[in-house]
Structure 1
Amino acid sequence: MQMTLRFLGATQEVTGSCHLITVNQQAVLLDCGLIQGGKADELRNRDPFDFRPELISAVVLSHAHIDHSGRLPLLAKQGFTGPIYTHKASAELCAIMLKDAAMLQERDTERQNKKRAKNDLTPLEPLFTQDDVDQVLTQFVALEYGQRFAVTDDIEVTLSDAGHILGSAVVELWLGQQAEQKKLVFSGDLGREGMPILSDPTMIEHADLVMMESTYGNRQHRSWQDTLTELKGIFATTIHKSRGNILLPAFSVGRAQELLYLFHIYAKEWDLSRWRICLDSPMAIKATQVYVNNYPLMDDDFKRFTRLSPGQHPLLSTAEFTSSTEESIELNDIHEGLIIIAGSGMCNGGRIRNHLAHNLVRKGADIIICGYQALGTPGRLLVDGAETLTIHGQSIKVAASIHTIGGLSAHADQAELLRWYRHFDNQPPIVLVHGEPESQQILIDELTAEPALAPQHAVIVEKGNCLDLSALPELVWVP
């Protein structure tokens, strides 16, 4: 039986998740995400797919983040007509996020074409348009956690809660039939244990192969209590000096809702009544409503807190929602007393860019970086200590205080990744995706440090690598 897994994205990098499973000539994609980072990285999204889109039978989408879902409209534009299976909350979030991505594609292409016209260059087309998004959204098939379903005659799938963002899934796949059947488990993006709002990641008992993310394979996050203490200290210091705003670049799905929840719970302890808190992101505002509508998926603490505060929903009670462009621009005239949550989380787009342009030069301002920053992004430059940042073609001096709060990450850290893998009862071979090489190698070293707990094989894959799944548990690579 022909049974292969080819790695086509998020290989030795963190974005662009895409993997191709083929069983008996039927091809299924796991994720189809945008590559994010610097300009050179993003240009790779225009490269041809490494397969013929019209020959893909189906897509299984682990979750809605753009680095996992963002090239789905392009896939449909180029001939894919099959179903896209994902959790129902992910389908709702993709309807928001993909439309926003199309708007950005069209806007950026228009801006580039104005420059190209001045140099008599051929105009570019957007990677995809709103019409492409409208088409691909008709192909989504919404599922529940724990529901086992047939993707093709030889591939069955179950989604389980990954605890990363709303609707995120660990994907279990049964490939082939009877004695020849193999089980692949794809972690997707794993969340953290004990974090607010969402449940902990689901532990899986058995697999013939584990494909696991490794974003933070080289480090431990700060404890949750230390993270809260650090946040409280930043707010207390800024209140004391009383001469600046606080900016929080935040992913519109996941991080923004987590911050709203924390501000609700700790409003009194952090003395937030003296601050005007604004969620300045149309996409985050829409995503927050999806979170509100999917209340049954929240963890027990969130549900208990909501029951104790009737009429005060934890995600709706603290911040102003500034949807319009005019409201957002007005915030630029306020120099102190503002807490602004805005996308994008890596500072490479969205309204946070305008707020950074107006606040980075102010010594009294504070910028709190509270999520992963890919290489080449403005957020990564700030974390790495850049003295200037180019925004809208202008060099902006960085005078504001930059804080990195790793404990708010929605990704499992090294210890949590090890614990998740070691829950498997048979030490299956493991391949690492969705991580930078240094982090991945350190995680491999930790995975194999204790022979009694070590996987049968542990490998960092490269783009284009193809694994013969019928040979498992041995890792046999094929052209």
Structure 2
Amino acid sequence: MASLTFLGAAREVTGSCHLLESPALGRVLLDCGMHQGGDAVKRIHEEEFAFDPATIDAVLLSHAHLDHSGLLARLYREGFRGRLLCTRATAALLDIMLHDAVGLYLRDLERENLRHVRRGQPEIDPVYDESDVEAVLGLCEGFPYGERIEVGEGGVVVFHDAGHILGSAIIEIVLNEGEHSKTLVFSGDLGKLDSVLMNPPQTLHKADVVLLESTYGDREHRCEEDSLEELRDILHDTWRQGGSVMIPAFAVGRTQDILFQLGLLHQQGELDNWQVFLDSPMAIAVTGVYDRWLKLLDHDEVRKLSDVHRASLEGFLPTLQMSREVEESMAINRIKGGAIIIAGSGMCTGGRIRHHLKQRIWDARNTLIFTGYQARGTLGRIIVDGARHIKLWGEDYVVKARVETLGGLSAHAGQSGLVDWISQFQPVPQVMLVHGEFEAQEALAERLWRERKLHVDIPRRGQRMEF
């Protein structure tokens, strides 16, 4: 008998983590992600594992985003010594993501401890550090899509292309227990069919249980062509006003999409005379990884991307400037108008984007463009929901900048994409909706029942099921 316990991304979007237990496989985690939103140090220190990390035999990682991978170093610190399995491209990205995350965490912790010292309070010890990142990366094994990987005494794992970001995977797990065989499929995060930089998500047809993401279970996306037109119009309007544009960007996936779209506008003569700044050392490093792996994609458009993803971007987006150093980032503040600033983090929970918000969000000539999902509790979600005032480093700032959301640049499938993907399974499997807010999951569940007569379950955090 196998069992699943839903420990994160259950009726919520972030913190993906599910515990699979089976005699064939042992004790295996599907993802080990952190929750996002609120104070970064407090959030990390409040995370607790509902199991002993030393008892985990393996982690199967769907992709490198931190809400799926961000607690791996802490897992190691608390005793994990098993296998860490993912795709090869995910392994390359994970090295960048985890090192960047620990650097930000330790810098935030240092600032917090300075406040503690001034107040006469004891300092806070880190829950993990760089040595834990290095150690857990040493456990990482990268595999190509489609390869059968033996895990445990009777388990077989196969990674399939999820089309979400570089290296993202749908995880297929076959459990051979005596004369019985069962198949579990974890969708991970599924991409869109019309994404230029990604292949369409692969379709699978057989499973006993499917864990299906539901981030956009209640809405559709505009197509990428329409989103490019919308982006062009927003940029033109802001240019005429003499303002600048801030784009909080996820370093993996979304940043590369945005650079490609801006490059297209430039090639079409539609970019005015914008100065474009990529103000994220991690995004710059990730873009280099994309350059090495994009040859695996099937799209004709990818032939253009050998230029797009070189450090200089010569001939495709010549106005792009890479801001690696803090001084280069600060120098952008001296530009009063005509700057497109792409900076992390994507949900405004940290990183350089918050410094740019401090400099520009109070000016009505400027525009703030969100290109991805904003989780509850994040500063990005607060702004998208219409806040007129926000707090940055304890100070109040009025929100006068124009705020826009380009859903068509999302790396997630919309509702119809999710419905079409899960409908390929025959016979109908047991379906559990994960990685979505409850309202979105209810909307997806209602449509699946109305159109496909497919009943799904929406597990709560901590819920356990046997199959």
TM-score interval, normalised by the smaller of the two chains = over 0.9
Kindly provide the amino acid, as one letter, of the partner of residue 370 in structure 2: I
Structure-2 separation of matches of 1:99 and 1:354? 21
**CA distance in structure 2 between the aligned counterparts of 1:465 and 1:41, rounded to whole angstroms:** 27
Letter in 2 for 1:344: S
- 1:161-201, Cα deviation, whole Å (9 max, x unpaired): 10100000000000123641110000000111111111011
CA contact (8 A) 1:105 1:128 kept: no
1:262 corresponding residue in structure 2: 261
Is the 8 Å Cα contact of residues 183 and 209 (structure 2) preserved in structure 1? Answer: yes
2:54 is paired with a residue whose SS is: helix
Distance 1:459 1:230, change over 3 A: same
Is the CA contact 2:243–2:338 (under 8 Å) kept in the aligned structure 1?
A: yes
Asked if residue 182 in structure 1 is aligned to residue 182 in structure 2, the reply is yes
Q: Deviation of residue 111 (structure 1)?
A: 1.4
Q: Per the alignment, do residues 308 and 10 of structure 1 end up closer, same or farther by CA in structure 2, a change over 3 Å counting?
A: closer
Question: Partner of 2:70 in structure 1?
Answer: 70
Seen in structure 2, the aligned counterparts of structure 1 residues 259 and 135 have a Cα distance that, compared at 3 Å, is: same
Change (3 A) 1:140 1:247: same
The amino acid across from 2:85 in the alignment is Y
Aligned partners of 1:35 and 1:45 also within 8 Å: no
- Check 1:110–1:42 CA distance in 2 against 1; reply closer, same or farther (3 A cut): closer
Indicate conservation of the 8 Å contact 1:5/1:20, yes or no.
yes
Alignment pair present for 1:321 and 2:322: yes
Instruction: Name which of structure 1's ranges 81-90 and 315-324 shifts more when overlaid on structure 2.
Output: 315-324
Task: Describe the SS at the equivalent of 2:4.
Answer: strand
Q: CA deviation at 1:308?
A: 9.9
- Contact 2:37–2:43 at 8 Å: present in 1 too? no
Residue 110 of structure 2 aligns to a residue in which SS? helix
Q: What SS does the corresponding residue of 1:296 show, helix, strand or coil?
A: helix
Counterpart of 2:235 in structure 1 is 235
Q: CA deviation at 1:318?
A: 5.2
What is the correspondence of 1:192-231 to structure 2 with a 5 Å cutoff?
A: 192-231=192-231
Aligned to 2:456: 458
Contact 1:35 1:42 in 2 (8 A): no
How much does 1:273 deviate? 4.9
C-alpha distance in structure 1 between counterparts of 2:252 and 2:429, whole Å: 32
Aligned to 1:141: 141
Cross-structure match for 1:467: 465
Q: Which residue of 2 aligns with 1:18?
A: 17
Change (3 A) 1:310 1:464: closer
TM-score w.r.t. length of structure 2 = 0.95
* DSSP 3-state at the match of 1:266: helix
Q: Give structure 1 stretches of 5+ with no counterpart.
A: 470-479
Secondary structure at the aligned position of 1:320 is classed as strand
Instruction: Determine if contact 1:306/1:314 at 8 Å carries over to the other structure.
Output: no
Contact 2:267–2:316 under 8 Å retained in 1 = no
Match of 2:393 in 1: 392
C-alpha separation in 2, matches of 1:182 and 1:392: 51
Residue 43 of structure 1 and its aligned partner are, at CA, apart by 2.6
Q: Quote how far apart the aligned CAs of 1:261 are.
A: 0.9
Shift of 1:269: 3.1
**C-alpha contact 1:36 1:42 (8 A) present in aligned 2:** no
> Is the 8 Å Cα contact of residues 288 and 315 (structure 1) preserved in structure 2?
no
Q: Is the 8 A contact 1:102 1:129 kept in 2?
A: yes
Which whole-Å deviations, capped at 9, do the CAs of 1:391-434 have from their partners, x for residues lacking one?
A: 12211111111111111111111010000000112111100110
Query: CA-to-partner distance for each residue in 1:86-139, whole Å, 9 max, x for gaps?
Result: 011111111001011101111111111122223333321223211110111100
Report the count of equivalent residues. Answer: 464
Contact 2:260 2:308 (8 Å CA) reproduced: no
Once the two structures are TM-superposed, the CA of residue 303 in structure 1 deviates from its matched residue by 2.8
Identity of aligned residues (%): 42
Distance 1:257 1:310, change over 3 A: closer
Normalized against structure 1, the TM-score is what?
0.93
Quote how far apart the aligned CAs of 1:274 are: 0.5
> 1:320 is matched by which residue type in structure 2?
Q
Which shifted more, 283-292 or 169-178? 169-178
The question of whether the paired residues in 2 share the 8 Å contact of 1:53 and 1:79 is answered with yes
- Structure 1 residues 299, 319: closer, same or farther in 2, change over 3 A? farther
Per-residue deviation, 1:367: 0.7
Deviations 1:55-80 (A, max 9, x none): 11111000000000000000001111
| SS, match of residue 446 in structure 1 | helix
CA 1:36–1:257 in 2, change beyond 3 Å: closer, same or farther? same
Aligned with 2:284: secondary structure? helix
Deviation track 1:6-27 (CA, whole Å, cap 9, x = no partner) reads 1111111100000111112820
The within-5 A match list for 1:367-406 is 367-406=368-407
The yes-or-no answer on 1:122 pairing with 2:122 is yes
* Structure 2 Cα separation of the partners of residues 419 and 45 of structure 1: 39
Task: Say if 1:58 and 1:83, in contact at 8 Å, map to a contact too.
Answer: yes
Matched residue type, 1:424: F
What RMSD, in angstroms, separates the aligned Cα atoms of the two structures?
2.0
Report the CA distance shift for 1:318/1:149 in structure 2 as closer, same or farther (over 3 A).
Answer: farther
> 225-234 or 164-173: which moved more?
225-234
Alpha-carbon distance in structure 1 between the residues aligned to 2:141 and 2:400: 48
Q: Is 2:10–2:459's contact at 8 Å kept on the other side of the alignment?
A: yes
**CA distance in structure 2 between the aligned counterparts of 1:152 and 1:424, rounded to whole angstroms:** 26
Provide the secondary structure at the position in 1 that maps to 2:266: coil
The 2-side partners of 1:301 and 1:387 are apart by 44
Tell me how far apart the structure 1 counterparts of residues 41 and 431 of structure 2 sit (CA, whole Å).
27
Stretch moving more, 414-423 or 114-123: 114-123
Structure 1 distance, partners of 2:207, 2:198, is: 25
Gaps of 5+ in 2: none
Give the C-alpha shift of residue 42 in structure 1. Answer: 5.6
Contact 2:375–2:381 under 8 Å retained in 1: yes
C-alpha displacement at 1:276, in angstroms?
0.6
Cα 1:150/1:257, change in 2 over 3 Å: same
* More off after superposition, 306-315 vs 43-52: 306-315
Q: CA deviation at 1:313?
A: 7.1
Q: Which residue does 2:39 correspond to in 1?
A: 39
Matched to 1:468, the amino acid is E
Question: 2:277, 2:323 within 8 Å by CA — same for their partners in 1?
Answer: yes
Partner of 1:366: 367
Name the SS for the 1:272 alignment partner: coil
Distance 1:383 1:41, change over 3 A: farther
